[in-house]
Amino acid sequence: MHCIKCGCEESKVIDSRSIEEGNSIRRRRECLNCKHRFTTYEKIEYTPIVVIKKNGLRQQFDRSKIINGMLRACEKRPVSIEQIEKATDEIEMEINNSLDKEVPASKIGDLVIQKLKEIDEIAYVRFASVYRQFKDINEFKEELNKLLR
């Protein structure tokens, strides 16, 4: 890290603090040449994720779409926004950890279904009915039977 005053590359860390819920680190540094103190920030760099839609179109990953879909499925259910945000964080982390730069929308949908199944069974069935596009009552019944097993 270059000193902003003299340009020297040698500095020592005086203090480090975690910020933004552990997603960043704030460091106070001191230049070993001129003794000037300055602050630096270290943050995780995520590579942008591209979602491949059913029709083949590609678009940038948008976590708000997951949250909105889960909110609709959980409407009038005893599910807090914190539970939905936590599930969305876990889904996003799993996608980022997969190291794939392009992810099929179906994989994201499957992850959402998994999380909703853990959170609330009614919300799970609501989301699954839209996501899996049940053609008739028998497909819906089959999904309910899976849940009961």
Residues 91-133 have pLDDT tens digits of 998 998 887 889 999 999 999 999 999 999 889 888 887 877 7
- d(CA 36, CA 29) in angstroms, rounded, equals 8
Long-range residue pairs from 55-60, CB within 8 A, at least 24 positions apart, any chain:
58/102
Arithmetic mean of pLDDT over the chain: 88
Domain shared by 79 and 19, yes or no: no
Does residue 61 share a domain with residue 92? Answer: yes
pLDDT higher than threshold 80 for residue 146: no
- The conformation of residue 14, written as its DSSP 8-state character, comes to E
Model-level pTM? 0.64
- Which class for 128: exposed (0-12), middle (13-18), buried (19 or more C-beta within 10 A)? buried
Task: Give the residue numbers spanning the domain of 118.
Answer: 50-148
- What is the structure's pLDDT at 147? 67
Task: Give mean pLDDT, residues 63-84.
Answer: 94
Average pLDDT rounded to a whole number, residues 61-88: 94
71 plus 98 within the same structural domain = yes
How, if at all, do strands 102-104 and 50-52 pair?
parallel
- Please give the average per-residue pLDDT across 39-63, as a whole number: 89
Q: Are residues 69 and 137 in the same domain?
A: yes
81 and 118 belong to one structural domain: yes
* pLDDT in the model for residue 98: 83
Q: How many domains does the chain have?
A: 2
pLDDT at 10 over 80: yes
Q: Is the domain of 54 the same as that of 126?
A: yes
143 shares a domain with 91: yes
Please tell me whether residues 59 and 18 are part of one structural domain.
Answer: no
Average pLDDT over residues 52-63: 93
Q: How confident is the model over 56-65, as a mean pLDDT?
A: 94
- Is residue 80 located within the same domain as residue 123? yes
- 27: which strand partners? 16, 40
Largest Cα–Cα distance in the chain?
76
Is pLDDT of 72 > 90? yes
